[in-house]
Amino acid sequence: GAGVRVRDLTKRFGSAARPAVDAVSLDVRPGEFMTFLGPSGSGKTTTLNMIAGLEGVTGGEIRIGDRDVAALPAHRRDLGVVFQQYALFPHMTAAQNVAFPLRRRKLPKAEIAERVARTLDLVRLGDHADRLPRKLSGGQQQRVALARAIVFDPRVLLMDEPLGALDKKLREQLQIEIARLHRELGVTVIFVTHDQEEALALSDRIAVFNEGRIEQVGTASDLYERPATRFVAAFLGDSNAFEGTLSGGRLAGDGLDLRAPATDLPDGSRAALIVRPERLRLSGAPGSGDNAVSADVTDIVYQGAFRKVLIRFGNGGAGCVREAIGALSDIAPGDRVTVHWSPDHAVLV
Ligand code: ADP
Ligand code: MG
């Protein structure tokens, strides 16, 4: 696969006050599985469509491999594209749909037949080659769309919520298939989703979008363990947040006075200390300290291999502790407790 390099990519629709995509810069490495993750309206599709050449750019630069693609129309960019809606030709069989990009490239007939058969096998549809799309299930139609996108060995595969129309079980099955295809083909993938679990399951790295900008790019564990912003911390999983003002290595406010992790922020900055639910320990006795806060237990929710203890801090903020079954503390709703954490497990944003 080829690398994709985006610099200051911007899109403004008509007279909109705010750009839909606001000076986005990003490097996708050759062969990497990169996911654009963010809420609806955050600019993921618009960014992907500009890379694909399906949407004009207001400003910025896009390079695919060593080529500046600004002047190239979509079909000359050598990209495979899959959308949420299968967009198959309804009057063509699965095999004819997959053959389409090869016929447009005027490959010899024998080579087309050979490649179509091989690619349909790759997406496990070898025995459905002669079916029309309406005779295929949603998951099978999306496999055909995937086969059509990879059959010509594109340098980059772009997918916009490709599993969004499928039910949960089928979605998880196809996630595994997509991960396998990426591994086997070595193609660079840019994958759009608003589903954090899907992003965590598939990606080498994730770019978190918010309001037309990228808030952070990193591996799943980078984003989870070291979120750069409040938004990233809140969008990926549960978190406990304590807000205050920084001064002399401490974060004070709302009746709390906590030890702050190392930071580049100057004294006087407003900041939040973030601790993930599985990094908190509960103890029965009330109290507080450098790395501890007192709280009231409001609810306990069992979730299979672990349970969530929902808590409310003295300042009214809600929080959550995750305990593995087998390491449960002896507490009940209504108890006053102390939550503490190791200083290594707190992040300042
Ligand atoms: P996402 O894919 O993250 O849900 P989009 O890229 O589709 O977000 O949209 C980003 C923003 O751009 C949204 O505010 C959306 O309303 C706006 N937008 C998208 N397409 C158009 C369009 N064709 N015309 C005007 N505004 C658009
Ligand atoms: Mg979208």
Structure ipTM:
0.99
With a 6 Å cutoff on the Cβ, whether 45 touches ligand 1 is yes
Q: Whose CA is nearest to atom 16 of ligand 1?
A: 41
Q: Which two tokens stand for residue 178?
A: 């997509």
Ligand nearest to the CA of 209: 1
The residue behind tokens 């922020």 is 265
Atom of ligand 1 nearest to the CA of 46: 6
Rounded to the nearest whole angstrom, what is the distance from the C-alpha of residue 137 to the centroid of ligand 1?
A: 29
For ligand 1, whether the C-beta of 80 sits within 6 Å is no
- In short, whether 42's Cβ falls inside 6 Å of ligand 1 is yes
Closest among 153, 188, 158 to 81, alpha carbons compared: 158
Which atom of ligand 1 approaches the CA of 43 most closely? Answer: 6
| Dist. CA 142 → ligand 1 center (Å) | 24
In the chain the beta strands, taken as DSSP E runs, fall at 4-11, 21-28, 33-37, 59-64, 67-68, 79-82, 156-160, 188-193, 205-210, 213-218, 240-247, 250-253, 256-259, 270-275, 281-283, 292-303, 306-313, 318-324, 336-340, 346-348
DSSP conformation letters of 216-259 = EEE-HHHHHHS-SSHHHHHHSS--EEEEEEEETTEEEETTEEEE
Q: In the chain, where does the domain assigned CATH 2.40.50.100 lie?
A: 238-348
Ordered per-residue pLDDT tens for the chain, 349 residues? 899 999 999 999 998 889 999 999 999 999 999 999 999 999 999 999 999 999 999 999 999 999 999 889 998 999 999 998 878 999 999 999 999 999 999 999 999 999 999 999 999 999 999 999 999 999 999 999 999 999 999 999 999 999 998 898 889 999 999 999 999 999 999 999 999 999 999 999 999 999 999 999 999 999 999 999 999 999 998 899 999 999 999 999 878 899 998 888 899 999 999 999 999 999 888 777 889 999 999 999 998 889 999 999 987 889 999 998 887 788 899 999 999 999 889 999 9
Which ligand lies nearest to the CA atom of residue 56 in the structure? Answer: 1
Pairing of strands 33-37, 205-210: parallel
pLDDT (0 to 100) of residue 328: 78
Q: Is 221 in the pocket of ligand 1 (CB under 6 A)?
A: no
Residues 6+ apart with CB under 8 A from 221: none
Q: Assess whether the C-beta atom of 203 lies below 6 angstroms from ligand 1.
A: no
Confidence (pLDDT) at 113: 97
What spacing in Å lies between the alpha carbon of 41 and ligand 1's midpoint?
6
Please name which ligand lies nearest the alpha carbon of 38.
1
Residue range(s) occupied by CATH 3.40.50.300 in the chain = 4-225
CA of 85 to the centre of ligand 2 (A): 12
Residue 289's beta-bridge partner residues? 292
From the CA of 84, how far away is ligand 2's center (Å)? 9
What is the CA 271 to chain-centroid distance, rounded? 25
Closest ligand 1 atom to the C-alpha of 18? 14
Helix pair 138-150, 109-122: axis angle to 10 deg: 130
Ligand 1 lined by 43 (C-beta under 6 Å)? yes
Residue 314, pLDDT score = 82
Tokens representing 234 are 């809140």
Q: Which residues contact 84 (CB under 8 A, 6 or more apart)?
A: 160, 161, 162, 163, 164, 165
| Residue 115 parent element (H or E) | helix 109-122
Whole-Å CA distances, 117 to 3, 132, 217:
28, 16, 38
Asked if 205 and 191 count as a contact pair (C-beta separation under 8 A), the reply is no
Spatial contact of 29 and 3, defined as CB atoms under 8 Å apart: yes
Selection from 131, 210, 157, 193 nearest residue 32 by Cα:
157
The whole-number pLDDT of residue 253 equals 86
What residues are neighbours of ligand 2 (ion), with CB under 5 Å?
45
The dihedral through the CA atoms of 49, 6, 17, 208 has a sign that is positive
How long is the chain? 349
The C-alpha atoms of residue 126 and residue 121 are separated, in whole angstroms, by 4
The pLDDT assigned to 130 comes to 97
Domain 238-348, CATH: 2.40.50.100
**How much is the pLDDT for 84?**
87
Q: According to the CATH classification, is domain 4-225 in 3.40.50.300?
A: yes
Q: What is the pTM of this model?
A: 0.90
- Reference 331, options 288, 293, 298, 294; nearest CA is 298
